[in-house]
């Protein structure tokens, strides 16, 4: 393992464990400095005691560099591999059947890594494809994609697909469901994308009747393929120790899930540990209504891509048949399905 690989692995594992983002950023900054050094300089600096004179290289990052140069697995990596490991539970078989991830973010919005880095990490995990769904423009805290930036992103993805084939990056967006139920991107652009996730991000506490109308209008759109993190809740813990730290939105869940089933809009199992959305009783309701399911990480960094295991355990616990899950489908079938929906 080279020092550069070691620094990047620390960042990956930090993100996998949802550890403080500022520490992850420190290792990524150090990695950029190391990447730019001429051959032999890093070794020279270690020998002369000037390693910490490099910008962005401090005691923690320096220790990882030195141990990697010694041919060792750095202590920090060995510890993080154990502490942040995501166990494969009852969903291990389903996890092996998943071919991709339908909800991910990059540095084009509020993600922590470029598309190429996210794609290579997904490929290394055994994915056949990755759908890039950066945020739409009005989510300003995420520096969302306006029309021109989305078109530029499509050009980048086309170039990367030539480089990374047969792995495929599918085009997408996480479009915001505005207060009136409109979608925060132009219909003609949404029609060009391989897959569209629609989610509520603002005014989560609005009155239940209006929230119901808001979501119903969105899921009825032929451009919306997946309803993302449907309740908007935030949680802490797992299982019996789970508690909601941001209350779920109130809406008529039966009406919404019936509409999703009628319009063919999938309901997302959001795998992020701090979301775990929908709650179990609502997932059962969506299944009883006949909804398709998408198991998505909502990844904002490469390490988050491993969160699929959480969603697979949840899906198996609820008895979901694999063919009902979008990302057990190969890319051709998935894109054909979304194209048919646009044309209907």
Q: What pLDDT digit, counting tens, does each position of 179-210 carry?
A: 999 999 999 999 999 999 999 999 999 999 99
Neighbours of 163 (CB within 10 A): 10
Portions of the chain given CATH number 1.10.150 = 3-83
Report d(CA 134, CA 151) in Å as an integer: 12
Q: Environment class of residue 300 by beta-carbon count within 10 Å: exposed (0-12), middle (13-18) or buried (19+)?
A: buried
8 Å CB contact between 300 and 105: yes
The confidence band for 342, taking pLDDT boundaries of 50, 70 and 90, is confident
Q: Where in the chain is the domain with CATH 3.20.20.140?
A: 92-343
pLDDT (tens digit per residue) in 114-142: 999 999 999 999 999 999 999 999 877 77
Domain 92-343 has CATH 2.160.10.10: no
CATH code of 3-83, in short, is 1.10.150
Q: Tens of pLDDT along 291-313?
A: 999 999 999 999 999 999 999 99
Say if residues 218 and 183 touch (Cβ distance below 8 Å).
yes
Per-residue pLDDT at 113:
93
| pLDDT given at position 87 | 87
Q: Are 291 and 257 in contact (CB under 8 A)?
A: yes
**Which residues share a beta bridge with 277?**
270
Phi-psi region of 143 (alpha: psi -120 to 50; beta: other; left: phi over 0): left
For position 236, what pLDDT does the model report? Answer: 93
DSSP bridge partners of 235: 244
Strands 100-104 and 226-227: unpaired
Examine the pLDDT at 325 and tell me if it is beyond 80: yes
- Residue 22: which pLDDT band, with cuts at 50, 70 and 90? confident
pLDDT at 21: 87
**Contact in structure between 257 and 231 (CB atoms under 8 Å):** no
State the pLDDT at residue 88: 85
CB 282 within 8 A of CB 230: yes
What ranges in 17-49 are assigned the alpha helix state H? 21-36, 41-48
Residue 39 has pLDDT above 80, yes or no: yes
How high does pLDDT run on average in the chain?
96
Residues 89-107: what's their mean pLDDT? 96
pLDDT band at 288 (very low <50, low <70, confident <90, very high): very high
Looking at residue 178, its pLDDT comes to: 97
**121/306 Cα distance (integer angstroms):** 10
181/199 Cα distance (integer angstroms): 10
Smallest CA-to-CA distance from 146 within 155, 133, 137 is with 137
Q: What are phi and psi of 31, to 5 degrees?
A: -60, -40
CA separation for the pair 186, 151 (Å, rounded): 12
User: Rounded distance, CA 134 to CA 132, Å?
Assistant: 6
Q: What is the DSSP string of 225-281?
A: -EE-STT--EEESSGGG-EEEEPPPP--HHHHHHHHHHHTPEEEEE--TTT-BS-HH
- What residue has token string 């309701």? 285
């Amino acid at each position: 393992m080279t020092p550069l690989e070691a620094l990047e692995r620390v960042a990956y594992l930090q993100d996998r464990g949802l550890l403080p983002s500022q520490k992850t950023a420190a290792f990524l900054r150090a990695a950029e400095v190391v990447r730019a050094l001429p051959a032999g300089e890093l070794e020279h600096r270690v020998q002369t005691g000037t390693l910490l004179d490099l910008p962005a290289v401090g005691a923690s990052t320096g220790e990882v560099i030195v141990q990697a140069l010694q041919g060792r697995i750095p202590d920090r990596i060995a510890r993080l591999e154990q502490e942040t490991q995501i166990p494969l539970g009852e969903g291990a078989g389903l996890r092996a059947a998943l071919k991709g991830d339908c909800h991910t973010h990059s540095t084009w919005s509020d993600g922590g890594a470029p598309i190429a880095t996210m794609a290579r990490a997904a490929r290394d995990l055994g994915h056949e494809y990755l759908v890039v769904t950066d945020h739409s423009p009005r989510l300003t805290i995420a520096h969302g994609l306006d029309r021109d930036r989305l078109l530029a992103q499509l050009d980048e993805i086309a170039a990367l697909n030539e480089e990374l084939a047969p792995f495929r990056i599918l085009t997408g967006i996480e479009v915001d469901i505005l207060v009136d139920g409109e979608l925060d991107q132009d219909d003609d652009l949404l029609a060009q994308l391989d897959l569209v996730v629609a989610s509520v991000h603002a005014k989560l506490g609005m009155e239940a009747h209006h929230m119901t109308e808001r979501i119903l209008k969105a899921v009825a759109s032929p451009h919306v393929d997946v309803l993302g993190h449907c309740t908007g809740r935030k949680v802490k813990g797992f299982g019996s120790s789970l508690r909601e730290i941001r209350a779920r939105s109130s809406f008529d869940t039966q009406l919404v899930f019936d509409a999703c089933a009628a319009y063919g809009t999938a309901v997302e199992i959001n795998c992020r540990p701090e979301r775990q959305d929908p709650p179990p009783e609502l997932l059962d309701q969506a299944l009883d209504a006949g909804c398709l399911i998408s198991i998505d990480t909502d990844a904002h960094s490469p390490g988050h891509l491993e969160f699929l295991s959480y969603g697979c355990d949840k899906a198996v616990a609820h008895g979901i048949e694999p063919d009902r899950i979008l990302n057990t489908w190969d890319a051709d079938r998935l894109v054909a399905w979304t194209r048919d929906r646009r044309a209907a």
